[in-house]
Structure 1
Amino acid sequence: MFDGLEQINALVVGASQGIGLGFVKQLLSQPQVSTLYATYRQPQTAPHLMALAAGSDRLKLLQIDVTQENQIVAGIQQIQQHTRQLHWVINCVGILHEDSLHPEKALRQVDPEQLLRYFQVNSLPTVLLAKHLLPLLKHSDRSLFAAISAKIGSIGDNRLGGWYGYRASKAALNMLMKTAAIEYSRKSPQTILTVLHPGTTDTKLSQPFQQNVAPEKLFTVDRTVTQLIEVMRQLSPADSGEFFSWDGSRLPW
């Protein structure tokens, strides 16, 4: 993906912690990345990100709640004041549990408000980003827009059931990106859209569910990000709209 490009402008959405923060660290280590934009929602949850920004003039922070379209628009307008094009965009925003929100084990636990919360965070931001980022991604260089999904959002691979809201919201994310990829192929054919399964990563999101994960299958953030960057580097426009695992294999819808 970086071949032939002297300078890269990138955007990491949801960069305050976990995989998003890992992407920021690794992209900052790449000399080709001239400007890196990173979003966070609340200052109190982003101390490490802010410390990185204080030590690098290449890292520009944007406070955005990506569940709010007006904030996405305002953030992209800020980027456009300084940058004419983006080459990599990675959306790492996602939710599995918070406060009283937990994955459902049975139908009796399905709650409409909790379902809406899953879709609000896991599904809608990516399609809104695709909607408003098109002018920054549409240029003569190859560009990439990736969203972190999850294998558990695969309908074809669902053999265990449960986790209704999380599964459905990730499946919706996959469909939204697949559909957006078709439109982008007409309007911005040099842009690759993809959804990625990172594997089980040692983050706050997965902590309550790590006891059943074999040690060799629980990845550090650094390993996850390294693997995903390698997958993204190998993608071509023919791969746009596809669903890939951390090892580069294609996943069923």
Structure 2
Amino acid sequence: MIQVCLNGSRGAGEGAVVPLSPEALAESAAEAVAAGATDIHVHPKTPCGQDSLSPRVLAPALAAIRARVRVPVGVTTGAWAEPDPAARLERVRSWRVLPDHASVNWHEPGAEEVAAALMERGVGVEAGIWSGTDAAARFAASPLAPRVLRVLAEVTDTSAETAEDTARALLTDLGAAFGRPVLLHGEDGGAWPVLRLAGRLGLATRIGLEDTLVLPDGNRAISNARLVTEGLRLYAENRRCSS
């Protein structure tokens, strides 16, 4: 599986290619799926370009994307979108239109409660386990761990030279991850080295403008679709090298 992460917390200042509005997200999602993406991760935005968990922001984004594609669509529940854990939980409970899945960063306050609320509503949970945090230990102790949709192993080391080593250490910390599927990805300078490693290990991965703004050759990416095309090519090359 290759997931496309359409925009993340990036804004208009980082380039017109980053989709922000529901219409732009839908168009970018359709192009990425046509290029081979099989799953979508999106950060719904307010008109001012801020990440939001409000049902009035979430619903139009999901509706627009689903009108164009027939693959699962997931959203963030990151604390930056709603810092107060109690308010974040209420936001999730107020959603009228539900995503297929949502990422929950296990190192953030209130993660267990948010994950439980999502599960109660039938929304799959991607357990975000970030390198450089205590998320792996928290996840190992969580009674919800065996019930998550998958583990999102997020390598926050942005160095092209060390990101692969950080990724391997993170996977070791996760152990068997309660038998749940693992999606491994990096960001910025670490995005492509970690994607190559995911290919060699046969793990699911993701790529998109949330994780990187550049192609493997260092040139600026013009779209999520182009990143997906390059991601699939590199993934396949590294799978052949490991077989």
TM superposition score category, shorter chain reference: 0.3 to 0.5
TM-score, L = length of structure 2: 0.41
TM-score, L = length of structure 1: 0.40
